[in-house]
Amino acid sequence: MSQARSSLGAAATSHTHAMTDITGLAAALTAASGMNQGSVEQDPNLAVNQVILTKHANAPSPNVYWHITTTFFHSVASNGNRSQLAIQYNEGVSVYARSCFQEVWTDWTRLDNSTPPGTIVYFPGFNPPPGFLKANGAVVSRTTYAALFAAIGTFGGAGDGYSTFNVVDLRGEFIRCFDEGRGVDPGRALGSVQGAQNAWHTHGATTGAAGGHAHPFSGLATASGGHTHAQTVYGGWADGAPAVLAGRSSGGTGVSTLITGALDGVHTHAVTGTVGVDGAHVHPVTVSAEGGTESRPRNVALLACIKY
């Protein structure tokens, strides 16, 4: 049979060809890999190549380039049912997916994580996990961390003003939610730092009673009260008869005698007692100070990180 085919000039049933011998094969493979897509601003909604590189408004973000792989159902067509997987090409590694059914696209859904740039998280370690930076005020590139810069701008600092910016510096700080007009913490600007403060209060202080005393005394009152009583006694008698002291005789020679009574009533009174308590005095009172250099509750130290 092979001799007959050979004699007729036909190719052998088993043979090989170089890729260059197959017309259009290289182009087809290139197209399948997305390497001959042409413009890098293709609308992914209209993609007919399985892989494209594009920067377009219908990509997950119009600000960066995306590798978008399209899986077609039934036929390769821009109006068929299909699904797409988009992998960020520059300035990050985000991954998104979406699908189209009856020419209606779903929204892009992020697959790698749902943490937007600028999110603050805390970790019990010395190094941030992948996709995060330490929230330590470092100066970083506005290009390398474009998504983070788009999210927070110069909130943490402007860097050099044109090519860099500062991440938020949360080292050693407690977080207080922005008041935003509620009135609990009025007058605060978003991102402002507030110093330590204690609430207004008073301290009561007491001291034990001391210094009360008394002065005992004793003595004599001034002598007084001395006096006499005058009394006139009349006496008379008759010759040869006893004298009659009371009354007046009717005869004989009468004699009157003034008798003064004995002194009586001069005396003293002993006086003892206690003078009034005299405690007029002062006591210095010292209220002891205590505490450290700041006011704080119980806390645990963790590493603050920010998503980029």
Q: Where is pLDDT greater, at 295 or 268?
A: 295
- What is the per-residue pLDDT for 238? 47
Phi, psi dihedral angles at 147 (to 5 degrees): -65, -40
148 C-beta neighbours (distance < 10 Å), count? 26
Burial class (CB in 10 A: 0-12, 13-18, 19+), 219: exposed
> What is the spatial distance between Cα 195 and Cα 197, in angstroms, rounded to a whole number?
7
Please write the tens of the pLDDT for every residue from 225-259.
666 666 655 555 445 545 444 444 445 555 555 55
Q: Where is pLDDT greater, at 176 or 139?
A: 139
pLDDT at 261 over 90: no
H-run or E-run covering 146: helix 146-152
> What is the spatial distance between Cα 223 and Cα 225, in angstroms, rounded to a whole number?
7
Question: Which sign, positive or negative, has the C-alpha torsion 177, 180, 183, 186?
Answer: positive
Q: Lowest-pLDDT range, 181-185, 228-232, 279-283, 298-302? A: 228-232
SS3 37: coil
pLDDT at 74 over 90: no
Could you give the C-alpha distances from 214 to 61, 211, 274, 281, in angstroms and in order? 94, 10, 7, 14
- Quick one: pLDDT band at residue 182, thresholds 50, 70, 90? very high
- Quick one: pLDDT band at residue 39, thresholds 50, 70, 90? confident
SS3 21: helix
> What is the spatial distance between Cα 308 and Cα 183, in angstroms, rounded to a whole number?
33
Q: How many CA atoms lie within 13 A of 287 on its CB side?
A: 5
Rounded to two decimals, the pTM is 0.48
- What is the per-residue pLDDT for 161? 94
Q: Where is pLDDT greater, at 160 or 113?
A: 160
Please write the tens of the pLDDT for every residue from 194-220.
888 888 888 878 777 666 677 777 776
Indicate the average pLDDT of the chain: 79
> What is the spatial distance between Cα 296 and Cα 307, in angstroms, rounded to a whole number?
28
184 C-beta neighbours (distance < 10 Å), count? 8
- What is the per-residue pLDDT for 65? 92
- What is the per-residue pLDDT for 243? 47
> What is the spatial distance between Cα 14 and Cα 248, in angstroms, rounded to a whole number?
201
Q: Where is pLDDT greater, at 216 or 71?
A: 71
> What is the spatial distance between Cα 235 and Cα 256, in angstroms, rounded to a whole number?
6
- Quick one: pLDDT band at residue 26, thresholds 50, 70, 90? low
Q: Decide: 119 and 128 in contact? Cβ < 8 Å.
A: no
Mean pLDDT for the stretch of residues 46-68? 90
- What is the per-residue pLDDT for 118? 95
pLDDT at 277 over 90: no
- Quick one: pLDDT band at residue 78, thresholds 50, 70, 90? confident
- What is the per-residue pLDDT for 10? 59
